[in-house]
Structure 1
């Protein structure tokens, strides 16, 4: 009876850990496949704040200036000691978004791209969401003279494409790790 209760408590603890940090549990080959798929980036990951999905490396941040930004500032929001440029934009509905631009990120792009109301003149945009939890993370931008719908590979391989991701929907990996607590029963 006591042993069954202890096993049930351990199972609950592991379930809680897996719920709050889904990247901890990756059986053997899945771990290697995820690293190969992501490439050879360096630095800490930028995560989806809603679910913890690994979106990009900090080194994937690339500043793309826009004359349509309401304001811009340098900050250390996502890059630790490295300063990144944060731009403030307003959409036609009056909603404002602070964004950081990335060269690439693991997001789902929802084509067709729209050329109207672009914050980056000469570029068409499409929504970008988290592939795991479907949270709206920002927008993907491609040259305006491209077709409205393109392949994921063409987007990723081009030097002309970029993403503008909303700062408060992102989280640094090292900050997320600092929020995790080890249950007392696991401490020695």
Structure 2
């Protein structure tokens, strides 16, 4: 017979594990087996019922009767015809030499206690806890848990707590990311930020486009190309930034001769240590530098853009943007 992991000394309930319960008749005044007839209600339970002798409340029904999975520690048994032709109630002895009888059911109407014990268990490798009448709270049996099931329950409990905490952390992280995204939007929406770095000038227009150009003294731009146009809803597509950073992607820019790809840019907004008084570009890494320091190709660039906001004050930081362009 396969091992039954949960034995409620009163009922056998199947969920994730097979469950057995047994009704205790240790106190002959505790339980009685009677014929149970209804005339206009509770038809599915019509028939023999095990009742609490103290208050008369039903605790089990004949239709739920099952054999005990292990009777190796029993000292005797007797036939109980009212539960079925082959029904048996088994006698066990506790350490005080008091005898009590158990009958198995797959369902019991009772309250299961919270405290586990392995003391004087009637089933080897099982711990138990009390089952009491749901009406008068009188003891009517026990619930036995196999050690393997306890380990499984403990593992599931730890996993459940871990999952819950992870969800809570994700919700908090999402809320923080949304808060930062709103700060960035209010500071930058409709604006473009410019930064000169040697020969080149870089233009980052919020949720529109990133451009790279050279401007002559007369204002003309003999070299001017797109580093990508904004790609909506790209935040969750970037697995490299899974925290509270605000990520924007720009793609489909000017063709890049160095790698044959269309130029693209990634802008990551996060908190910076300094608190500039206005929106500014703090740092621009030229393509040759970024190629050696970040492993990107010659079409790549990196820009750090700080955005100051009063709403950032409670986090003791402003917002910084990193833009990485090229073959990404």
TM-score by length of 2: 0.31
Are 1:49 and 2:48 counterparts?
Answer: no
Aligned equivalent of 2:118: 115
Determine the C-alpha separation between the residues in 2 that align with 1:115 and 1:106.
23
Following superposition of structure 1 onto structure 2, how do residues 158-169 of structure 1 map, counting pairs within 5 Å? Answer: none
Q: Secondary structure at the match of 2:140?
A: strand
Q: Deviations over 1:120-166 (max 9, x none)?
A: 11222111110101111121222223339x7xxxxxxxxxxxxxxxx
* Contact 1:115–1:144, Cα closer than 8 Å, also in 2: no
Determine the C-alpha separation between the residues in 2 that align with 1:132 and 1:44.
19
Q: Secondary structure at the match of 1:113?
A: coil
Distance 1:145 1:112, change over 3 A: farther
Aligned equivalent of 1:67: 72
- Runs of 5+ consecutive residues of structure 1 not aligned to the other structure: 1-30, 151-188
Determine the C-alpha separation between the residues in 2 that align with 1:104 and 1:86.
16
Determine the C-alpha separation between the residues in 2 that align with 1:140 and 1:99.
12
Q: Secondary structure at the match of 2:115?
A: strand
Higher strand share: 2
Root mean square deviation of aligned Cα: 3.0
Determine the C-alpha separation between the residues in 1 that align with 2:123 and 2:45.
26
Following superposition of structure 1 onto structure 2, how do residues 66-145 of structure 1 map, counting pairs within 5 Å? Answer: 66-76=71-81, 78-79=82-83, 82-145=85-148
Higher helix share: 1
Aligned equivalent of 1:174: none
Determine the C-alpha separation between the residues in 1 that align with 2:128 and 2:88.
20
Q: How many residues align?
A: 114
Q: Secondary structure at the match of 1:118?
A: coil
Runs of 4 or more, structure 1, over 6 Å off, are: none
Determine the C-alpha separation between the residues in 2 that align with 1:136 and 1:114.
16
Distance 1:120 1:42, change over 3 A: farther
Shift of residue 44 of structure 1? Answer: 2.8
Flag the structure with larger Rg.
2
Shift of residue 96 of structure 1? Answer: 0.9
- Runs of 5+ consecutive residues of structure 2 not aligned to the other structure: 1-39, 154-328
Q: Deviations over 1:90-117 (max 9, x none)?
A: 1112211022122220111112222232
